[in-house]
Structures are given as C-alpha cells and as structure tokens.
Amino acid sequence: MNANHHESSGPSRTQITLRGPAELADALPFMLGFHPTDSVVLVALHGERGRFGGRVRLGIPRSPREWESTADHLAECLVDGGARGGTRPDGIVVFLCQDPLAGETGRRVMERLRPFSQHLRTACGALDIPVYEALCISDGLYFSYCCPDARCCPPDGTPLALSGTSVMAATAAYAGVQVRGSLRDMEGRFKPSGGPGEEEQRTVLDATAAAIVPRILEGAEGKGREEVRETTLRLARDVLRRFVNPKRPGQKSPISPPCRTDRTGRTSRGGAGAETAEGDAADDALVGTDEAAALIIGLQDRVTRDRAAEWMEGWEGTAALRLWRVLSRRCVSPYQEHAAAPLTLAGWVAWSTGDEPTARVALGLALDADPDYVFARLLHQACNEGLDPESLRSCLRSERDARAAPAPPAPAASRRVRMRTTRPPGTRQTLRKPGRQTCGVERRSTAGVRPSGPAAGKPGSGAPRRGGQRGSRSGR
C-alpha cells in the first residue's frame, strides 16, 4: 500500500510502501498529524496499489445505539467526498482508537468495539466499497478485526512500533511532517483551562454582553451596530500587534520573535514557546479580561467576523491564530456557544497557512459549539475535500482592497441634468438599489446577532459552495 501525501505539491512526491497491519497502525498519526484519541478514522484507498486518499475522523459515540447510524454516515461522507473529487474509493481502511477505561485491558476495548467495527464494514460494503483492514488501537497494542491468522495478528494484540523507529517515521521526518501529540492535547489548547480566573471572565462577559448586544440590536438604522463593529476591529488590531512585538518587563523596546521558514518556503514569526503550554499561558497574559469579553461578543456579528478573517497570512496570520486561541479559551460556561466564532477563525487561519491538522481540530470544535454555524461547516467541508484556500484568500483580499480604495468622485451637477429630471405627468421613475457584490454573490449590508450565540450567516467571501455534513466534522 502506498502512502501518498497528496497535500504536498510539486512534481516529486514522497512515496513509501506499507506492508501489513503493523505499518498501517504506525502510519495513522502521520496521516492525521496527531495521535487520534477516542476516534474512529476511515481512510480511502485508490488504485491497484492502494494509494491513500481522503479520510474522515469522528469521536466514537458513547452509546452503542448510535453506532449503526454513525457507521452509515461516515461511509457516505468518505465515499461521497471522493466522488465529488472525481475519484471514488476502491477500498477503505478502518481504525478504532480508544484508551482503556479503569480496569480495562486493550483486548477488552477491542471486543467492546467489535460490533462498531462490523457496522462500519457493513456500511462500506453496502456502498460497494470493500474494507481491506479494520484495526483497533488501544493501550499501546493493535488488533485486527479482519486477519484470522494468529501468527501475525494474535488475539492478545501486537505492540506498536517504538516511536520514530519505523520507515514511515523516518520518511515523515525527512519530509518535515510533524505529529502534534494527541488529539486531546490539541483540543485542550482551544478549551477553557478551568482555572480560578474563569469566574472573573464569566462576570465580565455578562456585563459586556448586557452593554454591547442592545447597541447592536436596537441602534437606530444600524448606527450602534456599526459603532460596535469598528470598535471591535480597532481593539482586535491593537491586541494583534502585541503577539508580534510583546514587551517584556524591564526592557525598553519590544522583542520580535525570530522568523522561521518551513519546508514550503512560508515564513512565520513566533518561537517554539508559542507551541507549548507555557507559550499559551504567556499569550493569555497579553489579553485582558475586559478586552477578551469585548472581542468575543463583538465577533458574534457576521460582518465583523468576516473582516477579521482577512488576517490570514504572514505575520498577521501567525498572530491571529494565537489571538483566536486565547479567545476560544476565554469562552467559559455558559458562553461555550460563543466560541464558534473564534474557533472558526482559528481553523480558517490554520488552513490558510498550511496547518491542516490544527484547522480540522479547530473547525470540529467550532461545530461542537454550534452545529449550525455555516462558516465552520463550509470551511470544514472544503478542508476535508482538499480544496485550495487561495480562492477564498483572493476574495478576502479583494474586499479589503475595495474598502481601502478611495470613493469615486460624485459627478458634477449641470443644468442639463437638472432639466432632465422633469418627467411628463403619469410616468413613474423606477429606482434600483444595487447590492454590494462580493465575488459574484450579493451581500446584505447588515448581519444579525443572537445574544445567546453566534450568528450562523453565510460568509460573503466566496467560501466553497458545498455545505458539509455533520458527520464529517472532526476529522479528517
């Protein structure tokens, strides 16, 4: 089976051959970019040699009553997604990853999930797609649901390869592919930490929502909404600069994080500490409680969110991703639904800058916060189908440039024009109010905000037209 990292561009692609379930189990974290925890993963195979294609990931439902419907939905998502891309899968590999509960063993987890594995195999078979292998990964072991040979797949499981010792690990290291730790760790960077500051943040969010939401909803002719929009964006720009040049105590001038250039030639700022828990804590210290509350409530406005999405590349993209992470962590109970806006922005920036694993995690969490959040659904579907984010980036650049361009001068009044305004009696003059055109889509001048959660408006920025299904939310 060939592991083909189709995300990489260029005429030469790194290909390796995986032989047997052991190497398949070892390859899974490198395909996703993280170690999946409590997850079901389906990977499409294409051609006679089994080239890896699309993949979907979802948390394993807790209730066995949901397993059959979940299996049907995941199989349809994977097959339909491939068909839309013009390549229907020729086969599927199934992975079930779950840590043992207290008192459980890896084999007990495998037996408990066996009915779910059978539902998945049946659902794929109903779509005329065979399942070539179904593996359960638990407690450092892998088990095969398909191989009856105890010599290669013993019933008590086979230990996974040591980290970094496999051919897949060596190839991934050479290609610059990184495994970001576990899915649980990646999700934790977007969730409230549960520290003592949550109560203060909740109190400030209550007061900020009471002050801002009426101005948005009750302002005369949208004046209050526009004022809140400009205030929010101005504050966000000011905070954004702190992530680029943070001042340290006792120093006279800001410190600029060093530049880094990845293997694609993309340059970004930010040290390694920004990818650690200590770095996240330092980022949290850059945003005050009242500032975070104002930004969270202000981003519930669709137009404000779309304009904030323009910080998507270069130093702005690097700083924006860190800011959106901070705001997601500040959406404490009962404001979890408000996290859909900063989580979606984080997913968009990560996807735009080439970090697809983080994008899928953030967008999946956004859909957990608000399953009907349209912007997150569109981006998640586009990311999973391997579309190029440049089309959306170009639309956002066009909007930004159009706003910055000076308004055309009004035509000079003349006597001849004034005389032509006199019309014969009995005739009616028809006026057409032109809508604002954004990448071929007419966009309204105002957007609604729900006090209880983010607006689920369609982004007016030329996002991919296909809507995602909830089954493809988290993975994949």
pLDDT digits over 6-44, tens only?
333 333 355 666 767 878 888 888 888 888 889 999 999
DSSP 245-288: SPPPTT-SS--PPPEEE-TTS-EEE--GGGGSHHHHHHHHHTS-
At residue 76, the pLDDT reads 92
pLDDT of 439 strictly over 60 = no
Structure token digits, residue 215: 């101005």
Confidence of residue 178 (pLDDT cuts 50, 70, 90): low
pLDDT of 4 strictly over 70 = no
73 within 8 A of 471, measured Cβ to Cβ: yes
Dihedral of the CA atoms 150, 154, 156, 160 (nearest 10)? -170
Between 254 and 163, whose confidence is greater?
Answer: 163
Mean pLDDT of 82-92: 83
At residue 391, the pLDDT reads 92
Spatial distance between the Cα atoms of 348 and 381, rounded to a whole number of angstroms: 12
At residue 173, the pLDDT reads 60
Spatial distance between the Cα atoms of 202 and 226, rounded to a whole number of angstroms: 25
* 78-87, 160-169, 288-297: least confidently modelled range: 160-169
Confidence of residue 253 (pLDDT cuts 50, 70, 90): very low
Q: How far is CA 16 from the centre of its chain?
A: 28
CB atoms within 10 A of CB 65: 8
252, 266, 305: which is closest to 458 by C-alpha?
305
pTM here is 0.68
pLDDT of 423 strictly over 60 = no
At residue 303, the pLDDT reads 93
Between 15 and 53, whose confidence is greater?
Answer: 53
pLDDT of 252 strictly over 70 = no
CA distances from 2 to 17, 19, 134, 207, 292 (A): 5, 9, 17, 56, 47
Structure token digits, residue 426: 């009995």
At residue 238, the pLDDT reads 96
pLDDT of 162 strictly over 60 = yes
Place of tokens 């004046």: 223
Spatial distance between the Cα atoms of 283 and 278, rounded to a whole number of angstroms: 9
CA distances from 416 to 5, 260, 324, 393, 420 (A): 67, 63, 56, 45, 6
Residues 293-308 have pLDDT tens digits of 999 999 999 999 999 9
Spatial distance between the Cα atoms of 355 and 367, rounded to a whole number of angstroms: 19
Spatial distance between the Cα atoms of 74 and 39, rounded to a whole number of angstroms: 12
473, 470, 156, 198: which is closest to 343 by C-alpha?
473
Residues 440-463 have pLDDT tens digits of 333 333 334 444 443 334 334 444
At residue 68, the pLDDT reads 96
Which residues are registered as beta bridge partners of 206? none
Spatial distance between the Cα atoms of 157 and 140, rounded to a whole number of angstroms: 9
* 230-234, 263-267, 356-360: least confidently modelled range: 263-267
21, 27, 59: which is closest to 40 by C-alpha?
59
Confidence of residue 148 (pLDDT cuts 50, 70, 90): confident
Between 35 and 233, whose confidence is greater?
Answer: 233
How crowded is the C-beta side of 183, counted as CA atoms within 13 Å?
26
* 243-247, 308-312, 385-389: least confidently modelled range: 243-247
Integer Rg of the chain from CA: 26
Q: Where are the alpha helices (DSSP H) in 370-454?
A: 374-384, 390-404, 415-420
Between 54 and 341, whose confidence is greater?
Answer: 341
CA distances from 268 to 105, 111, 262, 274 (A): 44, 46, 8, 12
Confidence of residue 431 (pLDDT cuts 50, 70, 90): very low
Burial 69-92 (b: 16+ CB within 10 A, else e): ebbbbbbbbbbebbeeeeebbbbb
φ and ψ of 468, to 5 deg: -80, 160
Spatial distance between the Cα atoms of 14 and 169, rounded to a whole number of angstroms: 13
